[in-house]
């Protein structure tokens, strides 16, 4: 090889390596900035940091660095947040409130927070109460979350950072577990192991789970490990872990019907039995009729009162104002929730049995649920990112960036949404989703065409008999 060619090749390699190191260093600096020195009311700063992080994300996952190098870096980035109080979300105050109640022998599902102010409970005081963002609502966090919040109370009642650190350690353990089993799934399915980087370095995953300590981390972990054991045909283990996923956040309940097609009726019945028993045992320490009533009321309020960063619902709400002259959320929210139920029924009886089809159905069903929901916080999308990894759909990755637009709401104490930004967010997400469905239409709709053909054959046979 001529000397000048060798020199050019060496320079290119050095340049590429320096670019990779630059974006890794930039990402670390930006995570420190957003974790410790950024207020969510400064939307411009949040947007610039998110944009920088997603540019770095793109270059990192496209880099030629080996997983042996990148996996420790992904862990180090998460460890940056270890001693930080979440500054982009104030949900953690309710986590600590619930944990301290359990620590003192109280059931957090039974009463509204205000009830406990006059009970002289150590760690439960007015200063903490005033930081709660939902003081007029019953807690909605299932038993797995409550266990972690209870453990966090061992950090004491004088330092919030101690309580947060304990919760974050559980988050970190869950994230490590998710990464491990996601890699195992990719290896088992003989897919490119580097797809793992899509989840490991996604800034929304890192900021909203490790940074803001949202409980989706535990749901994602148990869901991922459950699907791994399902892939290994270890149904008992898978079903128990699926029960833990539901007991982390109720969302995976919508996926249960899909197992009927994937496993068949007999095996699905056994799967449901183990999952149900697991959920029952986990809820048992908190269970009574009052707890069921309060939890149901909280779920109903989710559909009938809360509004944030919605898409289709906002269009329906606008139509409601034009026709009725008032906000129709109390009826529209519940009626829109019927759409994902109908779609889940259609997906359930679609005769596609492959393991990939199960992931595909979960991704699309959850997406439809979010599209018609009245409230979408950025961290909700984290589950979609996991489900996207082994599939060809990438609209959730675009959504994970555009969700930062919702932080424009926190620029003032009035929490006024910028509907232009909401429109840009969802037009882009829907546009990419439609493009991806069009590109993969042959594969995606093959099962449904088969169902239609079987239906036609059945009708012809019935007509002949008559």
pLDDT of residue 451: 53
Taking each continuous run of H as one helix and of E as one strand, the counts in the chain are 22, 0
pLDDT of residue 305: 78
pLDDT-derived band at 262, boundaries 50, 70, 90: confident
Q: Are 97 and 134 in contact (CB under 8 A)?
A: no
DSSP 466: -
Regarding predicted confidence, which is higher, 17 or 193? 193
Place of tokens 């104030």: 90
Q: Are 153 and 123 in contact (CB under 8 A)?
A: yes
Regarding predicted confidence, which is higher, 38 or 302? 38
% of the chain exceeding 70 in pLDDT: 90
DSSP 194: G
Q: What are the residue boundaries of the structural domains of the chain, listed by start?
A: 1-80, 84-300, 307-466
Does the CA dihedral 85-149-239-303 come out positive or negative?
negative
The pTM of this model reads 0.92
Q: With a cut of 50, say whether residue 458 has pLDDT above it.
A: no
pLDDT of residue 459: 46
Q: How many residues does the chain have?
A: 466
Long-range pairs for 162-165: beta carbons < 8 A, 24 or more residues apart: 163/95, 163/96, 163/99, 164/84, 164/85, 164/86, 164/92, 164/96, 164/213, 165/82, 165/83
> Rounded to the nearest 10 degrees, what angle do helices 3-36 and 43-61 cross at?
140
pLDDT of residue 14: 67
pLDDT of residue 40: 94
Token code pair at residue 458:
């059945």
pLDDT-derived band at 353, boundaries 50, 70, 90: low
Kindly report, residue by residue over 422-455, the tens digit of the pLDDT: 999 999 999 999 999 988 777 666 655 555 555 4
Place of tokens 């399902």: 230
Residues near 455 by beta carbon (within 8 Å), at least 6 away in sequence: none
Token code pair at residue 17:
């390596």
Q: How many whole angstroms from its chain centre is CA 173? A: 17
Output the DSSP codes for 402-445.
HGGGGGGGGGSTT----HHHHHHHHHHHHHHHHHHHHHTHHHHH
> Rounded to the nearest 10 degrees, what angle do helices 355-372 and 216-231 cross at?
150
């Amino acid at each position: 090889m001529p000397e000048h060619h060798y020199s050019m090749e060496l320079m290119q390699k050095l340049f590429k390596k320096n670019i990779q190191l630059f974006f890794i260093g930039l990402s670390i600096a930006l995570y420190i900035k957003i974790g410790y020195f950024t207020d969510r009311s400064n939307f411009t700063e949040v947007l610039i940091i998110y944009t920088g992080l997603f540019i770095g994300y793109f270059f990192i996952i496209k880099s030629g660095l080996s997983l042996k190098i990148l996996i420790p870096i992904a862990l180090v980035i998460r460890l940056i947040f270890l001693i930080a109080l979440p500054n982009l979300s104030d949900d953690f105050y309710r986590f600590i409130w619930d944990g301290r109640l359990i620590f003192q022998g109280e059931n957090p599902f039974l009463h509204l927070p205000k009830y406990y102010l006059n009970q002289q409970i150590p760690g439960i005081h007015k200063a903490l109460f005033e930081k709660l963002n939902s003081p007029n609502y019953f807690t909605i966090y299932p038993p797995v979350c409550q266990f972690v919040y209870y453990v966090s109370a061992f950090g004491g009642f004088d330092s919030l950072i101690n309580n947060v650190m304990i919760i974050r350690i559980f988050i970190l353990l869950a994230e490590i577990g998710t990464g491990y089993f996601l890699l195992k799934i990719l290896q088992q399915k003989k897919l490119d192991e580097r797809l793992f980087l899509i989840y490991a370095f996604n800034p929304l995953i890192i900021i909203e789970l490790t940074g803001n300590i949202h409980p989706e981390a535990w749901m994602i972990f148990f869901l991922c490990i459950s699907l791994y054991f399902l892939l290994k045909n270890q149904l008992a283990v898978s079903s128990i872990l699926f029960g833990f996923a539901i007991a982390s956040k109720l969302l995976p309940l919508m996926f249960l019907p899909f197992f009927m097609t994937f496993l068949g009726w007999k095996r699905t019945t056994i799967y449901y039995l183990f999952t149900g028993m697991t959920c029952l045992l986990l809820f048992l320490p908190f269970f009574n009729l009052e707890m069921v009533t309060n939890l149901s009321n909280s779920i109903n309020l989710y559909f009938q009162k809360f509004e944030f960063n919605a898409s289709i619902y906002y269009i329906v709400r606008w139509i409601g104002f034009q026709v009725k002259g008032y906000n129709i959320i109390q009826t529209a929210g519940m009626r829109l929730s019927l759409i994902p139920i109908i779609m889940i029924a259609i997906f359930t009886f679609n005769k596609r049995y492959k393991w990939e089809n199960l992931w595909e159905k979960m991704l699309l069903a959850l997406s439809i649920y979010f599209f018609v929901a009245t409230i979408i916080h950025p961290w909700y999308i984290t589950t979609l990112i996991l489900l996207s990894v082994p599939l060809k759909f990438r609209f959730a990755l675009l959504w994970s960036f555009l969700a930062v637009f919702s932080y424009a709401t926190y620029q003032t104490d009035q929490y006024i949404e910028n509907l232009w930004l909401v429109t840009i967010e969802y037009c882009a997400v829907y546009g990419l989703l439609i493009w991806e469905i069009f590109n993969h239409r042959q594969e995606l709709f093959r099962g449904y065409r088969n169902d239609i053909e079987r239906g036609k054959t059945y009708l012809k046979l019935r007509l002949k008999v008559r």
